[in-house]
Amino acid sequence: MKMRASILLICLPLIAACDPQAVADNTTRRMAADVVEAVVLRDMPAAPAKAATECILQAASVEEQRALAADYAVEAGTLTKENIRNLALRPAAQSCFAASGVPPVR
């Protein structure tokens, strides 16, 4: 019983330190990454697609990432594909592509 109490006392500050909004944002980003990568994989091999996905997500706001994550576990729709392309065309994404060796979007 003492062991359980000790573990709880050690873990309690760690649990309290978790920011629910940060956890939610990280989950949204991972879901959006899955959606973006599935779309990007149609046009390039896996390694550049992973780098392109990261660049696209860096160019996206949290709200845009939430919109992308809405297509998680389903095939991305036309609007989602258009949003991904628009994000990929942003100067920040294009600079990231160049730095990561990803071919530019045309």
pLDDT, tens digit only, all 106 positions of the chain: 555 545 545 654 555 557 778 888 889 999 999 999 999 999 999 999 999 999 999 999 999 999 999 999 899 999 999 999 999 999 999 999 999 999 988 7
Cα 9 from Cα 55, distance rounded (Å): 41
User: What pLDDT score was predicted for residue 22?
Assistant: 81
29, 9 Cβ separation under 8 angstroms: no
Q: 29: exposed, middle or buried (C-beta count within 10 Å: 0-12, 13-18, 19+)? A: middle
pLDDT score of 25: 84
**pTM score over 0.95:** no
The Cα 15–Cα 93 span in angstroms is 35
| Tokens matching residue 5 | 């109490």
